Amino acid sequence: MAVREDADQLVRSTDSQHPANLICELCRKFYTLGWVTGTGGGTSIRHNDHIFIAPSGVQKELMQPTDMFVMDYNNRQYLRKPTTLKPSACTPLFLAAFDRGAGCCIHTHSQWAVLVTLLVERDFGTKACFEVERIEQIKGIPKGKGKAGNLGYHDRLRIPIIENTAHEEDLTESLEKAMEAHPDTYAVLVRRHGIYVWGDSVQKAKTQCESLDYIFQLAVEMKRLGLPWTT
Ligand SMILES: [Zn+2]
């Protein structure tokens, strides 16, 4: 299908839960958390066969619904492409999450996520995952795709870490490999960069992203105090 530059009906809605409105609202909230500072990070929502994606290089807290790109999930062609904006370099990474059944994918440049990747490298090496256990907030993370319920207090949370690349889209292959090697994970950390978190729905992706950020901040403080992440 050809790009319809006038396809504004795809992003115009008075419903606050419409993906184009929701991405703008979420990014405003994420900005206050330091997750999308300086145009970094991004959010994408899959609604049926439509993928809504925030553009690249824009002030994420000031975006308008009309700034959104819309892609057809099946043929990967843009249905709506704002002419003055660039598509997000995160797009192939978001698609990797949607290919695994996600309904929403959030990418942040959270400093807590970045610090955790550095601490894991220093103390456990470049092949290690971030691992933590016996922290109540772990219950905010599901057990895994096709598994009922969330992790329990006594479970160990493991988040794989991939190495950063010069260009965001070049992370796709290693992100997909990490997803295959860790089929239960709903998140992948990127060293010295941030994190990709996805969920079955917008609400789940947001809950998981918040829970993980809380855990990462706690983990950094625990390390500062000489407290171990696992027993
Ligand atoms: Zn990024």
Go through the domains of the chain in sequence order and give each one's CATH number.
1-88 (3.40.225.10), 110-225 (3.40.225.10)
Given the residues 136, 163, 169, 173, the one annotated as active site: 136
Task: Please report where in the chains the tokens 């950063």 appear, as a residue.
Answer: 164
Say whether 136 is catalytic: yes
What global pTM score does this model have?
A: 0.94
pLDDT digits (tens, 9 = 90+) for 189-223: 999 999 999 999 999 999 999 999 999 999 999 99
**90 labelled ligand-binding:** yes
pLDDT digits (tens, 9 = 90+) for 34-90: 999 988 899 999 999 999 999 998 999 999 999 999 999 999 999 999 999 999 999
Do residues 162 and 174 make contact, with C-beta atoms less than 8 angstroms apart?
Answer: yes
CA of 199 to the centre of ligand 1 (A): 18
